A and B are shown apart, each in its own frame.
Chain A
Amino acid sequence: MVSSLPLFPERASTIGADVDHLYFFLLAVSAVFAALIFASVFYLAIRYRRRPANLRAEQVPGSLTLELTWSLVPLGLMMVMFFWGADLYFRLARPPDGAAEIYVVAKQWMWKLQHPEGPREINELHVPIGRPIRLIMASEDVIHSFYVPAFRTKQDVVPGRYTSVWFQATKAGRYRLFCSQYCGASHAQMTGWVHVMQPADYENWLSGGATGESMPAAGERLFQRLGCGTCHRPDGTGRGPSLEGVLGKPVLLQGGAKVLADEAYVRESVFNPDARIVAGYQAVMPTFQGQITEEGLLQIIAYLKSLQRGAQP
């Protein structure tokens, strides 16, 4: 029975150890202060209980020194907690350059994951050890949350926009994946597994399972089918700007503002093209809301990114 009483979660990501260290620091501070308060209350309550030898309380005046001490000491400790936590949080929010990307679509009640190389998975995710992985996540319906306790990381998946999360796995194994944001009846069933593999195994798995076409290829097909290519010609002679190399670069907008073209920008351009107009072009692009699924749009994004690298799929 005792063996099935876990007290501490597995840890399988680079950031995990850092989060745990911070947690231990918090535990230590809390233990000290809780002990201090419990001990004082116990001691004082017993030492000064009303008894024949102690019938009369003795009034003591307040003390500014004491008040300052017990405000400033905790405050100082809390500032340590804040900066430490904020520093880590910032690292959690900023994936390293060159992270591999995996695309995630959440819906009631399953996780659909797709690797750029092609393999699609449901409620299972295979990743290699030792490589930073960035997930780009969209939701088809309500808010969900991607949570892998062993990685100490979690991010809500919000309808109408992209969110992302990254991790670098350190230990091969099988770890639980939860949906941690309440999303309806089967919220508790929206769980799965993350399989962390040795890089070689991962490559094997990729090539072994990859029966479907790669994401950029699928994206390109979609791009043609929806007629994006009629306006967005590679040489820029169409009615719209060339999309080659646009991702990751700043775009000059009408009115002089600049915006970095990231996934969110592409999303906005496709669903709500009038919101921001590229300098030198007319607002003629129609909205494609309702015509592209979340997965399809992610494929188009993967396609546009592949144009970036110059490597035609």
Chain B
Amino acid sequence: MPDSELALAHHFVDLDQQHDAATLGMWVFLVTEIMFFGGLFAGYALYRSIYPAAFGHGSRLCDVTLGAINTVVLISSSLTMALAVRAAQLGLRARLIAFLAATLLLGSLFLGIKFLEYSHKFHEHLVPGAGFGYSGPNSRQVQLFLCFYFGMTGLHALHMVIGVGVLLVLMVLAWRGHITPLRSNSVEVAGLYWHFVDIVWIFLFPLLYLVDLHK
């Protein structure tokens, strides 16, 4: 069967329509993601506006260096992802696999560093709940801040894990030669998702790590 026939699902008229539907679908999905994280951002905005001091204190508990490194790692992974999409559209299979692998690696690195941060917090008894051990000023509202810290970065990390899973699948598909210029929608759409997750982090970094850096 020619590639164009393999690529077209039965209910679409042509490939253009199919591509259109796939990308529009992904963008619409990303809008739902914006609103999903949006609930957390809204809560964050509320509490930061009424407890500015406590959010400053809380922010000082975050490791800026690790956060900054992770930002760079994630932005780099976005670059490799963009290059992977390009390779897929041009049909450069070897490059596609290489860039996907690079993205996967960077994504895992990000998760590793995140895990390190979490375990630090855990050892320092900075996890909200019964064993919470922070005794500085505003300790309850600092706990509130840390709820946001864990909630937002945790949800973000969950998205990363899903993204890593998607990358694995794509690598297998690419390996088997199922990704061709006409059948590259999946890579393109996964790229959109990956970049979105990157954007979320771009906002989380200053909002969680940098609040009180000047003090």
Contacts and interface: CB of A to CB of B under 8 A. Distances in A.
Task: Indicate yes or no for A touching B, C-beta below 8 A.
Answer: yes
A275 B140 contact: no
Given A274-B53, A275-B51, A275-B54, A289 B138 contact: no
B141 interface: yes
A254 B107 CA distance: 44
Interface in B127-179: 137-138, 140-141
A283 B137 contact: yes
Interface size class of A (residues with CB under 8 A): under 10
Interface string B43-61: 0000000010110000000
Interface string A250-284: 00000000000000000000001011000000010
Ranked 7 nearest A-B pairs via Cβ: A274-B137, A274-B138, A283-B137, A275-B53, A275-B51, A274-B53, A275-B138
Contacts of A272: 138, 140-141
Interface in B20-64: 51, 53-54
Contacts of B54: 274-275
A164 B141 CA distance: 25
Describe A's contact surface by its main secondary structure.
loop
Nearest to B52: A275
15 contacts: A272-B138, A272-B140, A272-B141, A274-B53, A274-B54, A274-B137, A274-B138, A275-B51, A275-B53, A275-B54, A275-B138, A275-B141, A283-B137, A287-B140, A289-B140
Contacts of A289: 140
Nearest to B139: A287
Contacts of B141: 272, 275
Query: In this complex, which of A274, A275, A283, A289 has the most chain B Cβ atoms within 10 angstroms of its Cβ?
Result: A274
A259 B137 CA distance: 21
A272 B51 CA distance: 10
Contacts of B51: 275
Contacts of B138: 272, 274-275
Nearest to A268: B50
Contacts of A283: 137
B128 to A, nearest CB: 16
Nearest to A271: B140
B43 to A, nearest CB: 15
Contacts of B137: 274, 283
Interface string A68-111: 00000000000000000000000000000000000000000000
A275 B53 CA distance: 7
Contacts of A274: 53-54, 137-138
Query: In this complex, which of A275, A283, A287, A289 has the most chain B Cβ atoms within 10 angstroms of its Cβ?
Result: A275
